[in-house]
Amino acid sequence: MRPGPRLSAISELVRPGDRIADIGTDHGWLVLDLLERDIVRHAIAIDRAARPLANAAANLARLDRTRFELRRGDGLQPLSPGEVETVVLAGLGGARIGRLLDAAPAVVATLARIVVQPERDWIAMRRWVAARGFALVDERLVADDGRFRLVCAIDPTRADDRPWTEADLAFGRRLRVDRGPTWRAWMEQQRRAVLAALGACGERRPDRAAQLRARAARIAVELTRWPDPRASLAGRGPAPEDSGA
Ligand SMILES: C[S@@+](CC[C@H](N)C(=O)[O-])C[C@H]1O[C@@H](n2cnc3c(N)ncnc32)[C@H](O)[C@@H]1O
């Protein structure tokens, strides 16, 4: 099996040697990739629906049966505290991922890593991380199948080292420091979308137009800002535009 950029990015953020649970496993492709390449020690593939689990069972059938389990249930509910070091929640909305994690505090308390790939609601996902005070240890954007996908690794055992800003929430806390080509392409796409919405809205709805203009301005500042935001990470204080929305 040859995973695409999205699944590859998720696999890369799983810690080698961990016992993992893949929540909403669907076809079990992530578990298959991680076990075939001997990245993880053991995997629990969880889904709330019978048909995806049957698909996962078929796809995993050629693997050593002692290395994985299939469990049916809602979110992290089929897990007991301490059973796995890492959970992966991919392909679900960011707000829903947060709710599933919140519904299992005893399990989350024993995790060393949470890997998420929110399909939408990226800001809600980041707000969830910020509100819990967990450390965001990696954040990547990949282009896959004509869409941008966000993949994050969270360390729930470590407290965050600095406050989140509105720009972190909107544009990516680590992404806007790394400023890679995929992030720039995504930012340009955001800018085009906001300008198109502004053109369509015109001045018929002045409040909405003002909001869109402000958002376009924030994107433009973010794309051109200098010095590099790493300066603020090095303790030289926040960049001016970090102070507000
Ligand atoms: C879009 S697929 C994502 C599959 C896979 N994680 C991926 O990223 O390719 C969503 C899967 O999550 C399952 N799912 C949705 N909500 C769930 C929940 N609360 N608990 C467990 N599984 C869930 C669905 O049945 C479906 O198989």
Average pLDDT of every residue of the chain: 92
The whole-number pLDDT of residue 203 equals 77
Q: Decide whether any atom of ligand 1 lies within 6 Å of the 118 Cβ.
A: no
Rounded distance from Cα 37 to ligand 1 centre (Å): 23
At 160 the three-state DSSP class reads coil
Residue 24 has pLDDT above 60, yes or no: yes
Query: How is residue 8 written in tokens?
Result: 């590859």
Interval 73-80 mean pLDDT: 98
More confident residue, 211 or 242: 211
- Section 219-244 average pLDDT: 58
pLDDT of residue 228: 56
Our mutation pick for probing the ligand 1 site, out of 6, 13, 25, 27, counting the most ligand atoms within 8 A of Cβ, is: 25
Rounded to two decimals, the pTM is 0.91
Q: Which pLDDT tens digit goes with each residue over 80-110?
A: 999 999 999 999 999 999 999 999 999 999 9
Cα 2 to Cα 6, 13, 32, 83, 243: the distances in Å are 11, 17, 10, 28, 43
pLDDT at 237 over 50: no
CA of 133 to the centre of ligand 1 (A): 26
Nearest-angstrom CA–CA distance, 170 and 172: 6
Closest residue CA from atom 4 of ligand 1: 26
pLDDT at 173 over 50: yes
CB of 91 within 6 A of ligand 1: the answer is: yes
**Residue 201 confidence (pLDDT):** 86
Is 204 within 8 Å of 211 (Cβ atoms)? Answer: no
Give the residue, out of 23, 72, 144, with the most ligand 1 atoms within 8 A of its beta carbon, to mutate for a pocket test. 23
List of domains in the chain: 5-161 (3.40.50.150), 181-243 (no CATH)
Is the pLDDT confidence value at 241 over 50? no
At residue 45, the 3 state secondary structure works out as strand
Per-residue pLDDT averaged across 186-204, rounded?
91
- Predicted confidence at residue 229, as pLDDT, reads 52
Is the pLDDT at 112 greater than 90? The verdict is yes
Q: In what order do the strands lie in the sheet with 113-118?
A: 68-72, 42-47, 19-23, 86-92, 113-118, 147-159, 134-144
3-state secondary structure of 127: helix
Q: Residue 26: CB within 6 Å of ligand 1?
A: yes
Percent of the chain with pLDDT over 70: 91
Is residue 76 within 6 Å of ligand 1 at its C-beta? no
Determine the distance separating the centroid of ligand 1 and the alpha carbon of 20, expressed in angstroms: 16
